Amino acid sequence: MNKFYIIGAVALTMGLASCDDMLDKEPLDVIPNTPALWSNDQTVESECNRLYNNFLGYGNGQTLGSFYFNALNDDQADPSFANWANTNVPGSSTNWNSPYQEIRGCNYIITNVREYKPASAAKWEGIARLNRAYQYYLLVRCYGDVQWMDRPLGLNDTEEIYGKRDPRDEVMDKVLEDLNFAVSNIGARSSRSAWSNDMAQAMKAEICLYEGTYAKYRTTAENGQAPDAARANKYLNEAANAAKAVMDAGYTLTSDYQEVYNTIGLADCPEVIFFKPYSQPSASFGHGTIAYTNSTTTMKGLTKDAFNNFLFLDGKPLATTSMDTSDKGVWDPDTKTMNIENLLAVRDQRLKVLIDPQLGFGNNPYLRYAGCPELTSATAYTVRKFYTDKLSDYFLKTIGQNTTSAPIFWLAKVMLEYAEAKAELGTLTQADLDATINKLQARAGLPAMTISPAADPANNMGVSPLLWEIRRVRRCELMFNGGRYWDLIRWHQLELLDSEKHPDILLGANLSDVDEEFFWDKKHEKLVVTVVDGYIRPTADKNRYYEPRQYLYPIPSGQIGLNNNLEQNPLWK
């Protein structure tokens, strides 16, 4: 039997590929190639099922997932400091290699089902084109201009392999064509863990919202292109229409915000559109997201900036609320614990799901349950969002053995995309708000938002009060989900990751009432907690400074060495 192997300049240097944060997974790199395979629906389906690996979810075994681990944002502070993903031009990168591997695999499926025409050829092509669109979205997000390839290339296709990058806008227009084909041809949902046109619409809403806002806010200096209002409006309308199609498909919010994130099986969850399942009870296929937030390893904790972003139960922000604005927990000198239930009781109720009711820091850990490891966080706020009491202690604590399902697309996220797209277009109505944002507000225990919210003095994005509040809801609803960095990219707000200008992004909880003895590692006689003006500061000797070049990743130097037509992104030269 013949085999298909990745070849060409775009997929070389595999042995040197680094383990980047975004695509740490097994690639689709070998596909059998026989006419008998490609004319048979069952075997083609098997090949398409390989593409499920494109969605990392909570990770595979011991690999890091899409949630929690990406601390390059203003929501989490990493105990070892999260600096820019690139401080120098790398020799190679899986962020470049892996998508091209997957794209070639998708092109191979597309080419063969077109040639051999199995009964469900349009469906299989739709699945492959959906995944090709997703991989190009990941590439363009990182690198801007990239080479578009719509067929599997061989060694003799040197003109295309060693060609120039195609303009990112042209590539994203082809991505939209792929998405539209997928929506029209994949078919109705058979299960929440299978390909469907609902899932394709949800992906389309996400990608088109990214593209629409990116086109609206980009600049020539940082992105290499001026804003394009017409393009922005086109993609924002596409995003809104795709989101509306999903919202009209019968999905409903659950009453429990955490259910989407900590449930062993999401097959019956009415909010979920598409999820990644893990095996029970033997955990032959598990993940480690819970275990990484349920171990003695210091967590990437919630920041002071993120904590302050949550509204109070009167629906008002920190600057204008009439409720108690103290950020001090209650220090018990007898038990030597800092309880923060008083702070969580007056805030957006999502906050008490995201973090634990007691701080864990230094040599003063938090014990979440009997037999729990000693939990500490870089910011003292320990991450609770993914925890469940439905798993045994072994399955909670063992990396690679966690078996809760990972949401990939779900209704709350789609609602946020719809509301934001309509607000960016200037067509959002109160009825739209009530059908989306205000359902999420109600679940969080907050009053409904109006179409003309009061201005928040903390608004540092230069947008209207309405957009500021919608972005706030998105931040709170999706916190620890791994997408905040890319939101800041598409809104052109990377400056907010400059910790010198915005120090609260590297601060944590208020520890001003805590005895200093708990800041020391007595065994090694060293300070393990630094407090700055009363607040824990996990990386006291480090700052992250705004760098305009970070709006695009650098092209790996190894790829430029292989292809003289690849030019480095301008600010990386």
Write down the domain spans for the chain: 1-70+87-186
pLDDT band (50, 70, 90) for residue 316: very high
Give the model's pLDDT for residue 520.
Answer: 76
Taking the C-alpha atoms of residue 347 and residue 310, their distance in angstroms, rounded to an integer, is: 7
Residue 339's beta-bridge partner residues?
330, 358
Does the pLDDT value for residue 282 go beyond 70?
no
Cα–Cα separations (whole angstroms), residue 140 to 11, 165, 320, 392: 16, 11, 40, 42
At 156-196, the pLDDT tens digits run 888 888 999 999 999 999 999 999 999 999 999 999 999 99
Q: Which residue has the tokens 């045994």?
A: 392
Does the pLDDT value for residue 9 go beyond 70?
no
pLDDT band (50, 70, 90) for residue 333: confident
Task: Write the CB contacts of 256 (distance below 8 Å, at least 6 apart in sequence).
Answer: none
DSSP letter (8 states) at residue 311: P
Does the pLDDT value for residue 8 go beyond 60?
no
At 407-435, the pLDDT tens digits run 999 999 999 999 999 999 999 999 999 99
Other residues' Cβ atoms within 10 Å of the Cβ of residue 441: 22
Taking the C-alpha atoms of residue 314 and residue 324, their distance in angstroms, rounded to an integer, is: 11
Taking the C-alpha atoms of residue 184 and residue 200, their distance in angstroms, rounded to an integer, is: 9
Taking the C-alpha atoms of residue 67 and residue 289, their distance in angstroms, rounded to an integer, is: 8
Taking the C-alpha atoms of residue 513 and residue 528, their distance in angstroms, rounded to an integer, is: 17
Give the model's pLDDT for residue 524.
Answer: 53
Does the pLDDT value for residue 4 go beyond 80?
no
Give the model's pLDDT for residue 28.
Answer: 42
CATH architecture of structural domain 1-70+87-186:
Alpha Horseshoe (1.25)
Q: Are 214 and 490 in contact (CB under 8 A)?
A: yes
Instruction: Give the Cα-Cα-Cα angle 78, 84, 88 (nearest 5 degrees).
Output: 135
Does the pLDDT value for residue 23 go beyond 90?
no
Mean pLDDT for all residues in the chain: 92
DSSP letter (8 states) at residue 551: G
Taking the C-alpha atoms of residue 555 and residue 552, their distance in angstroms, rounded to an integer, is: 9
